[in-house]
Chain A
Amino acid sequence: MHELSIAMSIVELAEEEAEKRGVQITAVHLRLGALSGVVKEALLASFEMASEDSLLKGSRLIIEDVPVIVFCPSCQAQRAIGSIQLFCCAECGTPTSAILQGKEIEVVALEIEECQSPV
């Protein structure tokens, strides 16, 4: 259960941005790899706890699942895998562990509320 410490890092990172830019954050967009070792549901629950006493209070965590992409030595191309239990090229079946994508735990965007100056 390291999702709470991951959630606290996300909150910390987003707070830094909020302070730097002087904005109110309403949502954090996160890319989460299938091989990140992080459980999405646990992270969502942890985020709620971690943001409770922060500038992020009430904000949402929006998670984009990032599938594993490998380099297939037979196809000489980027390919999906059979499954996370079977690291084979989804196209031709060649075993490969050359992981190109799928370990990400990355904040990619923040949603902010912008006040428009009163007319």
Chain B
Amino acid sequence: MPEPRLIEVRKNVLKKNDVVARELREQFRAAGVFVVSLVSSPGSGKTAFLEKTLTLLRRDYRVAALVGDLATENDAVRLARSQAPVKQITTGTLCHLEASMVQNALQEWNLDDLDFLFIENVGNLVCPSSYDLGENLRLVLISVTEGEDKPLKYPTIFNSADVAVVTKMDLAVAVEFDWQAAYGNIQAVRPGMQVLKLSAKTGEGMQEYLDFLMGQLAELRVGAAS
């Protein structure tokens, strides 16, 4: 009779992705570019928020964006209105971006020419959480129209992100959005998480968010110079 036997291996299943993400992070560091990725559910306002971000930042900084989408190029077309370089990553049926897709998409770009690179993930609050893209900062967006309990339903994505952004604040009153409840729920699943609230439409809160990004870039460059 054949005897079953156990052999130990200990291998991280996502090692391939993590290796590429590490390479990317090193490239970004060497080029002095600050990389921000955006995750959220579909319809939370990622693209409008990013379009506004690119438009405002490109007055003083060199910015570009990669945008992941399942099938259409609508988001890239919208973002191109900001005049910043934008590239679409069409994922087909894949529900998330992986580090290798980012690496491929960046091949024709010279990172030395950039201050900020934004990566818009596919609209999904589950799958992107497992994949490191080499970014410096991951923002998780929730819009006021989604309900205050999103953090409790998706604690994993909040724990993979660095900062939470509450979007569509211009609609807060109309949908009776309870800021305290939403903030409390974010803190319950990720104690100490920084939370920004803003409206890409009215511009409310955008300056505070841009100041935060500029501070992060300055810190990165001070760190690199020392």
Where the two chains meet, the residues of A that have a C-beta atom closer than 8 Å to any C-beta of B are 1-2, 5-6, 9-10, 13, 17, 21, 23, 26-27, 29-30, 35-38, 84-88, 95-97, 99, 104-116
Q: Are B126 and A37 in contact (CB under 8 A)?
A: yes
Which of chain B's residues 90-137 have a Cβ closer than 8 Å to chain A? 94-96, 126-127, 129-130
Where the two chains meet, the residues of B that have a C-beta atom closer than 8 Å to any C-beta of A are 1-14, 16, 94-96, 126-127, 129-130, 152, 155-157, 159-160, 187-193
Chain A residues near B14 (CB-CB < 8 A): 6, 9, 105
Q: Contacts A35-B155, A37-B130, A107-B10; is A116 near B3 (CB within 8 Å)?
A: yes
Tell me the minimal C-beta distance from B183 to chain A in angstroms: 13
The residue in chain B whose Cβ has the minimal distance to the Cβ of A25 is B7
Known contacts A1-B95, A85-B152, A95-B191; can you find 19 more A-B pairs with CB under 8 A? A13-B11, A30-B13, A37-B160, A38-B130, A87-B191, A96-B191, A97-B190, A105-B13, A105-B14, A106-B10, A106-B11, A107-B13, A108-B10, A110-B9, A111-B6, A112-B4, A112-B5, A112-B7, A113-B3
Contact of B7 among A10, A21, A37 (CB under 8 A): A21
Question: Could you count the A-B residue pairs with CB atoms below 8 Å apart for me: how many are there?
Answer: 106
Which of B9, B16, B95 is the most central at the interface, judged by chain A CB atoms within 10 Å of its CB?
A: B9
Q: Are B12 and A116 in contact (CB under 8 A)?
A: no
Chain A residues near B160 (CB-CB < 8 A): 37
The residue in chain A whose Cβ has the minimal distance to the Cβ of B191 is A95
Tell me the minimal C-beta distance from B30 to chain A in angstroms: 27
Q: Contacts A85-B189, A105-B12, A108-B10; is A5 near B155 (CB within 8 Å)?
A: no
Contact of A111 among B4, B159, B188, B192 (CB under 8 A): B4
Q: Contacts A9-B16, A37-B130, A115-B2; is A95 near B187 (CB within 8 Å)?
A: yes
Bound Cα distance A71, B7 (Å)? 31
Bound Cα distance A2, B95 (Å)? 7
The residue in chain A whose Cβ has the minimal distance to the Cβ of B17 is A9
Tell me the minimal C-beta distance from B224 to chain A in angstroms: 27
Bound Cα distance A36, B16 (Å)? 16
Bound Cα distance A10, B2 (Å)? 24
Tell me the minimal C-beta distance from B43 to chain A in angstroms: 19
Tell me the minimal C-beta distance from A100 to chain B in angstroms: 13
26 pairs from A and B in contact (CB 8 Å cutoff): A1-B127, A2-B94, A2-B127, A5-B94, A6-B14, A13-B13, A17-B7, A26-B4, A27-B4, A30-B13, A35-B155, A37-B130, A37-B160, A84-B156, A87-B155, A87-B188, A87-B190, A87-B191, A95-B192, A99-B159, A112-B4, A113-B2, A113-B3, A114-B2, A115-B2, A116-B1
